[in-house]
Amino acid sequence: MKAVITTGYGSPEVFKLDQVAKPDPKANEVLVRIHASSVTKADSMMRTGKPYIGRLFLGLSKPKHPIWGSGFAGVIEAVGSAVKNFKKGDNVFGENINSFGTYAQFIAIAEDGVIAKLPKSLSFEEAAGICDGGITSLNFLQNIGNIHSGQKVLINGGSGSLGTAAIQIAKYYRAHVTAVCSTANMELVRSLGADEVIDYTKTDFTHNKNYYDLVYDTVGTRSFEECKPSLKENGCYASPVLAMPLIGQMMVTSLFGNKKAKFSATGSLPKKEIMRLLNILIDIIKAGHFIAPVDRTYKLEQVVEAHTYVDKGRKKGNVVLKPFALS
């Protein structure tokens, strides 16, 4: 099969297309023919090998898993002898968090992994990026932000994969949502339900003092110290982008003050908790309260172009690879 091999850490040019052995599913695994896989900001950041602390999990000198990518959607082509919950021909989607491997035409994944049947309302392209954006944002909003009706939430980076998911999830829980994005993306975030939209090229949201219960910085471009004046008493700043300043701020605010800085590595949560979040997300999708915008799609051999585009930080929703695309 075709797959994208990661030769090291660095720019998008570390990727190369190669022919590798098609995986043979074990007794407890299913073989998925991948129709779409996600290219996320997290993929891009991990590709650089920075911050270096991440290499403790990814590999010190080069990635220990040669095939990159975690989000996928496709059709089950074969099932192992012990598989009970899936059958050949099922449309599925999920996130292969531990060993990656979705920048490829096929992947074998355990049936008790992060995998679920595809809701009928979603295309493969839409579903490929849902776990990264949706599960991560649901974790931050529910587990960290204690999302509830009437809460005032600001989402910095409202037009990306995490941001578009966060807007919809927060509105599902009847929070008051302010989204921050560029001029070009204001219409998109309004269409997803944002109550207020701030154009960061014209207005600095950190000048809104004592206003938000939660600032969810999906892109990690503003620090806790910058956002602190915008938080209510007992408010929280949370970001999935780990950096040394945030680690220090978390340590300090855990001991002092009412305003907190927090981080969570969603992918390292127990599998049971990730599946709980995924099932909640599926319920929100089936209730008609969640869509997954797809910005661009690329062929597998265009992975360098896909990562180059994501690196620009201007994507609207999800970017997708199509491993079997011919044109």
**What is the pLDDT, as a whole number, of residue 152?**
98
Q: Which 3-state string (H, E, C) describes the chain?
A: CEEEEECCCCCHHHEEEEECCCCCCCCCEEEEEEEEEEECHHHHHHHHCCCHHHHHHHCCCCCCCCECCCEEEEEEEEECCCCCCCCCCCEEEEECCCCCCCCECEEEEECCCEEEECCCCCCHHHHHCHHHHHHHHHHHHHHHCCCCCCCEEEEECCCEHHHHHHHHHHHHCCCEEEEEECHHHHHHHHHCCCCEEEECCCCCHHHCCCCEEEEEECCCCCCHHHHHHHEEEEEEEECCCCCHHHHHHHHHHHHCCCCEEECCCHHHCCHHHHHHHHHHHHHHHHCCCCCCCEEEEEEHHHHHHHHHHHHCCCCCEEEEEECCCCC
Number of neighbours of residue 116 by Cβ within 10 angstroms: 21
**What is the pLDDT, as a whole number, of residue 56?**
82
Average pLDDT, the chain: 95
**What is the pLDDT, as a whole number, of residue 52?**
82
pLDDT bracket for residue 244 (50, 70, 90) = confident
300 pLDDT exceeds 60?
yes
The per-residue pLDDT for range 103-159, each reduced to its tens digit, is 999 999 999 999 999 999 999 999 999 999 999 999 999 999 999 999 999 999 999
pLDDT bracket for residue 294 (50, 70, 90) = very high
pLDDT bracket for residue 327 (50, 70, 90) = low
Alpha-carbon separation of residue 308 from 49, 50, 234, 280, 305 (angstroms): 16, 17, 39, 33, 5
Task: State percent of the chain over pLDDT 90.
Answer: 87
Write the CB contacts of 322 (distance below 8 Å, at least 6 apart in sequence): 35, 36, 125, 297, 298, 299, 300
**What is the pLDDT, as a whole number, of residue 209?**
80
266 pLDDT exceeds 80?
yes
**What is the pLDDT, as a whole number, of residue 326?**
77
172 pLDDT exceeds 60?
yes
pLDDT bracket for residue 211 (50, 70, 90) = very high
The per-residue pLDDT for range 215-231, each reduced to its tens digit, is 999 999 999 999 999 99
**What is the pLDDT, as a whole number, of residue 33?**
98
Name the pTM for this structure: 0.92
Mean pLDDT of 38-53: 89
319 pLDDT exceeds 80?
yes
